[in-house]
Amino acid sequence: MKVKMLSRNPDNYVRETKLDIQRVPRNYDPALHPFEVPREYVRALNATKLERVFAKPFLASLDGHRDGVNCLAKHPKSLATVLSGACDGEVRLWNLTTRKCIRTIQAHEGFVRGICTRFCGSSFFTIGDDKTVKQWKMDGPGSGEEEEPLQTILGKTVYTGIDHHWKEAVFATCGQQVDIWDEQRTSPICSMTWGFDSISSVKFNPIETFLLGSCASDRNIVLYDMRQATPLKKVILDMRTNTICWNPMEAFVFTAANEDYNLYTFDMRALDTPVMVHMDHVSAVLDVDYSPTGKEFVSASFDKSIRIFPVDKSRSREVYHTKRMQHVICVKWTSDNKYIMCGSDEMNIRLWKADASEKLGVLSSREKAAKDYNQKLKEKFQHHPQIKRIARHRHLPKSIYSQILEQRVMKEARRRKEVNRRKHSKPGSVPIVPEKKKHIVAVVK
Amino acid sequence: METAPEPGGDVPPKKSKLRVQRKQPTLSSCPQAQDPFPGPAPVPAEAAGKFRRINKSKQLPHAKAQTRSRPHAKAQTRSRLEVAEAEEEETSLRAARSALLLAEEPGFLEGEDGEDTAKVRQADIVEAVDIASAAKHFDLNLRQFGPYRLSYSRTGRHLAFGGRRGHVAALDWVTKKLMCEINVMEAVRDIRFLHSEALLAVAQNRWLHIYDNQGIELHCIRRCDRVTRLEFLPFHFLLATASETGFLTYLDVSVGKIVTALNARAGRLDVMTQNPYNAVIHLGHSNGTVSLWSPALKEPLAKILCHRGGVRAVAVDSSGTYMATSGLDHQLKVFDLRGTFQPLSAQTLPQGAGHLAFSQRGLLAAGMSDVVNIWAGQGKGSLPSLQQPYLTHRLSGQVHGLQFCPFEDVLGVGHSGGITSMLVPGAAEPNFDGLESNPYRSRKQRQEWEVKALLEKVPAELICLDPRALAEVDVATLEQQKKERIERLGYDPEAKAPFQPKPKQKGRSSTASLLKRRKKVLDEEHRDKVRQSLQQQQKQKKAKPEGARPSALDRFVR
């Protein structure tokens, strides 16, 4: 007879002294971990609830401007520095770490229409209603010195937007035409127009740095190549586009913020159909900015809220609003992918977390592991009705909530009418037009 | 399985072509240094298969068709699934590789050639094994308070027992330290530890009582009266009670509320067990059926006719694969619980078993009058072969309760003469998981675990036959949603657009040729449909049983 009994030595399972940590032997055999799926589901449910409990995105409000904030710019080298321009011609530099204004410049008479930093971070450019382009040093003047621009260019018309090239000493402005300037000269290298209308914004492509996009008030978006004298092509939409933003990771993708409450993500190679129509705002979208990962973007709207959209989803994943925030004019996603800044009508710049429930500060390795685990669980069970309901729930101000309901009714009525028309017409005479194609009028090359 | 060559052998290491060839690092000090085992350690396929969670053979129920607006939808889903499958493969391999780190080996009992292990007496085993193991065999001689029911805690460290005449005691049976001993002055029908060793449910003559580990009565639950059997579902924190009045009642012990009370409509209930795999309660009835219950439904999930005459005992193994039943017809049967509910093996016993229990590694114990028989299968979790018992033992009284101790090679038997702790080598899982149930946990660890377990208490309504169903696609709802969407939109957005021939080169796209091309494609599609339906018909024909005799009425079948 051969016999062996299971006999464990307790010394292998119990800690030696109280100063040790407890021994935890693991066995990953699924038979010892029953109900894996239901338990994971409950964990995912708890994680989702906790996420909503800890969703406190609002961090700070930077006040100091004496009129509505009209434009914002990030510093390319310093995460803590932010520049803002207001409707009374004042430009302020902020330190986000201390949440204080570090410098104030009375830059223009009338609105500061646009502000952009040089790629090296040594200086920045502002344009204003006084038909000037001014270049300023990033460092303040020494004691006793006057606050003076490095350079002032007097133009013939009002400039409405400015953007700097990502690698060279070149910048572009827009107004009645798109002008490309060399920093050393006082007249533009070249001017490009297509039709006669005021162009509201111009943006350089961060990857294919010679490409520019602009949007004008005759409802079109025009693409330019700096190396050519003429524009590349344009797409005409139903309504006016307020601004565009290029995807920092995919050179050919940009998103347009439109007056018809929607945002359109385009592939510049095929402008006739947008890749995605982002619908959730209930008023005109005024500004849009991509996250540095290129996976999401944030949009600011006239409906007093900002929303975060994944690039490949048509619905927003997050909406931020406060009682005191009025129409949001400009928005920026910081370069560390963690925060969002927005400037609004009521003179404040607000700082938000990009991930509403994220814990700030240094995480211990166990916290990090738990966070990753919970994230994966939430992802796994995201389509379950209970979890989806909790994860999607957002409190909305009454004005937005009632407008959403109203617009839903309007949309439904329009759809019903179309279905009825189709039903009572000759088959094929009322074609089914997908949502993506509905808002594109034409593409011109 | 791949085998690695011996490290010290003269034979040069074979290099498998399948393995990833690692570049040998060139060391100046020992230029001949070579890794004798290049690449990652091989993992046997069946070991990795144990950890695999995706069933690759299963087709996805509703792969979304690609549409004109989403031309890559199907491809995207496919590629996402492929990534998930690759990750799954990697994880299962790693998990299987980690099995190397397990410290303990399971026990065994083998006879010399020709020797029958059933002839081995407990005294022989006690003599042969080490002192620590021998101390696990003991007899508590308690003739006075007569037949005992017993229960081990989930970690296997504590033992509680209650006698018919009211004697209730709980002890740490490894150190033999008594936690409490009381007499409840009432008949005790059943006893069960709740989620930890600190709480104890006792089914007394009238009502259900809950005591703590010092014997203090915490609750008297009057809504559960005349309870005969208790089962505790540890992950749901539910105490299932079967009563003389024929009700199966689920009590949530974390909040103290009754979840549901189900009327089994089968008279007095006194045979109950739980399926540890899916927390379904199995009730044995006097008409020979076993019914499967979940608190989510008022009706049984399934009814299995097992015996002629009443069912005396039911047990389900830890993987939820086998159910053993014994009836008044002296039969002992093992059923397959994976869908078919067919009997796999049956054996007529001279006396018939009154109590059954499965061990963690799939040993089956049966108590017949004053004898305990244990059957074993070929390996872990395999079907126990009922031909030849693995061990037998005769007790000093009639068996009244039977339970294998978790994580110890011990079978606890309650009988009319007291309690016997039998040694059964190879019964228990040798390597426990410290985060699930740790026999060596400290008080602090227990408290920590309790909080975590309560946080992830599984809701009672999730109990169903397949616990993995929650992670699968809900086909019925999906179909319903699709139907509603089509109704709402007025057209099917996922429908395949009819073929529209594209205009070709100059001269080749006359109306006639366009029509011809269109017709060609349509015809081809039609032929495909016909071919498929024919194939299906043939399959159905084949599916008919071979042995069935042709009937005269067959000529009318289309």
* Chain A residues with CB-CB distance to B107 below 8 A: 3-6
Per-residue model confidence as pLDDT tens digits over B94-117: 899 888 889 899 999 998 887 899
List chain B residues with CB under 8 Å of A22. Answer: 441-442, 445
Q: What is the pLDDT of residue B547?
A: 64
Least confident of A308-312, B68-72, B86-90, B511-515: B68-72
To 10 degrees, the CA torsion angle through B424, B425, B429, B435?
Answer: 80
Whole-angstrom Cα distance, residue A119 to residue A169?
Answer: 8
DSSP code for A270: B
Does the distance separating the beta carbons of A30 and B433 come in below 8 Å? no
Q: Do A36 and B468 touch (CB under 8 A)?
A: yes
In sequence order, the 6+-apart residues with CB closer than 8 A to the CB of A145 are none
Average confidence (pLDDT) over A393-414: 95
Read off the DSSP letter of residue A404.
Answer: H
Residue of A nearest to B69 (CA): A434
> pLDDT of B426-485, one tens digit each?
999 999 999 999 999 999 999 999 999 999 999 999 999 999 989 888 888 888 888 988
Contact A55, A395 (CB under 8 A): no
Q: What pLDDT is stored for residue B113 in this prediction?
A: 84
pTM over 0.95: no
Q: What is the pLDDT of residue B29?
A: 53
Segment B241-277, tens digit of pLDDT: 999 999 999 999 999 999 999 999 999 999 999 999 9
pLDDT at residue number B73: 66
Residue B312 pLDDT greater than 50, yes or no: yes
Instruction: Pick the residue of B322, B448, B458 with the most A CBs within 10 A to test the interface with A by mutation.
Output: B458
Q: Which amino acid belongs to residue A140?
A: G
Chain-chain contact of B431 with A27 (C-beta, under 8 angstroms)? yes
- Please, which pLDDT band fits residue A251 given cuts at 50, 70 and 90? very high
**Residues A12-41 pLDDT 10s:** 999 999 999 999 999 999 999 999 999 999
The per-residue pLDDT for B59 is 62
Nearest chain B Cα distance for residue A121, angstroms: 41
Residue A244 · residue A255 · CB < 8 Å: yes
Closest approach of chain B CAs to the CA of A15, in angstroms? Answer: 10
Check residue B481 and give its pLDDT: 87
In the predicted model, is pLDDT for residue B8 greater than 50? no
Structure tokens at A316: 């927003």
Q: Which residues of A touch B432 (CB under 8 A)?
A: 25, 27, 32
Q: Is the pLDDT of residue B66 over 90?
A: no
Alpha-carbon gap: A163 to the closest alpha carbon of chain B (Å): 35
Chain B residue numbers with beta carbons less than 8 Å from the beta carbon of A43 are 456
Share of chain A above pLDDT 90, in %: 93
Structural contact between residues A331 and A342, judged by C-beta atoms closer than 8 angstroms: yes
Please, are residues A62 and A99 in contact by the beta-carbon 8 Å criterion? yes
The bridge status of strand A178-182 relative to strand A190-192 is antiparallel
Q: Does pLDDT of B25 surpass 60?
A: no
Q: Is the pLDDT of residue B17 over 60?
A: no
pLDDT at B10: 43
pLDDT, residue B71, reads 57
Q: Is residue B159's pLDDT more than 90?
A: yes
Q: How far is B430 from chain A (nearest CA, A)?
A: 7
CB contact under 8 A, B279 and A33: no
Nearest CB among A22, A32, A423 relative to B442 is that of A22
Task: List chain B residues with CB under 8 Å of A32.
Answer: 429, 432-433, 436
pLDDT at B58: 66
* pLDDT for res B489: 80
**What is the torsion angle, in degrees rounded to the nearest 10, for the CA atoms of residue B421, residue B422, residue B423 and residue B424?**
-130
Q: Is A33–B433 a contact, with Cβ atoms under 8 angstroms apart?
A: yes
Contact B235 A38 (CB under 8 A): yes
Strand partners, B315: B324
Give the pLDDT band (50/70/90) at residue B3. very low
Given a cut of 90, is residue A302 above it in pLDDT? yes
pLDDT surpassing 70 at residue B355: yes
pLDDT at B553: 80
Q: Which of B5-9, B22-26, B315-319, B410-414 has the lowest mean pLDDT?
A: B5-9
User: Which residues of chain B make contact with A29, given a CB cutoff of 8 A?
Assistant: 50, 99, 429, 431, 433
Give B310-337 as a DSSP string.
-EEEEEE-TTS-EEEEEETTSEEEEEET
Measure the CA–CA gap between B73 and B253, rounded to whole angstroms: 47
Q: Do the Cβ atoms of A1 and B109 come within 8 Å?
A: yes
* A26 closest CB neighbour out of B429, B433, B442: B433
Where is average pLDDT lowest: B53-67, B310-324, B332-346? B53-67
Contact B129 A46 (CB under 8 A): no
Cβ separation A32–B436 shorter than 8 A: yes
| Confidence at residue B556, expressed as pLDDT on a 0 to 100 scale | 80
B467 and A27 in contact by Cβ < 8 A?
no
Q: Is A30 helix (H, G, I), strand (E, B) or coil?
A: helix
Average pLDDT estimate for A47-70? 96
In chain B, which residue's Cα lies nearest the Cα of A3? B109
Mean pLDDT of A326-337: 96
Share of chain B above pLDDT 70, in %: 90
Q: How far is B401 from chain A (nearest CA, A)?
A: 23
| CB-facing half-sphere around the CA of A285: CA atoms within 13 A | 29
Strand arrangement of the beta sheet that strand A100-106 belongs to: A69-74, A81-86, A90-95, A100-106
Q: How far is B433 from chain A (nearest CA, A)?
A: 4
Mutate to test the interface with B, among A26, A35, A412 (most CBs of B within 10 A): A35
Strand partners, B45: none
Q: What is the mean pLDDT of residues A46-72?
A: 96
- Kindly state the average pLDDT of the residues B173-200: 95
Decide if A30 and B50 are in contact by the 8 Å CB cutoff. yes
**B196 - beta bridge partners?**
none
- State residue B338's pLDDT score: 85
Q: Which of B408, B438, B456 sits opposite A6 (nearest CB)?
A: B408
In this structure, of A291-295, B54-58, B330-334, B418-422, the range with the lowest mean pLDDT score is B54-58
Inter-chain residue contact A1 with B425, CB threshold 8 Å:
no
A42 CB neighbours in chain B (<8 A) are 455-459
The pLDDT of residue A197 is 81
Name the residue among A8, A34, A436 with its Cβ closest to that of B277: A34
Q: What percent of chain B has pLDDT over 90?
A: 64
Tell me the pLDDT tens digit for each residue of A148-205: 999 999 998 999 999 999 999 999 999 999 999 999 999 999 999 887 789 999 999 9
CA distance B129 to chain A (A): 7
Out of A4, A28, A436, whose CB is closest to B51?
A: A28
Stretch A220-231: mean pLDDT, rounded?
A: 92
Confidence of residue B552 (pLDDT cuts 50, 70, 90): confident
Contact between A33 and B429 using a beta-carbon 8 Å cutoff: no
Amino acid A203: pLDDT: 96
Cβ pair B334, B383 in contact under 8 A: yes
Sort out which chain A residues have CB atoms less than 8 A from B445's CB and list them.
22
Whole-angstrom Cα distance, residue A386 to residue B263? Answer: 30
Residue type, A38: P
A304 near A328, Cβ under 8 Å? yes
pLDDT band for position B54 (50/70/90)? confident
Confidence of residue B11 (pLDDT cuts 50, 70, 90): very low
Do A30 and B51 make contact, defined as CB atoms within 8 angstroms? yes
Which pLDDT band, with edges at 50, 70 and 90, does B68 fall under? very low
Instruction: Tell me the DSSP string of A2-13.
Output: EEE-----GGGT
Give the count of Cβ contacts less than 8 A between chain A and B. 149
Average pLDDT, chain B: 88
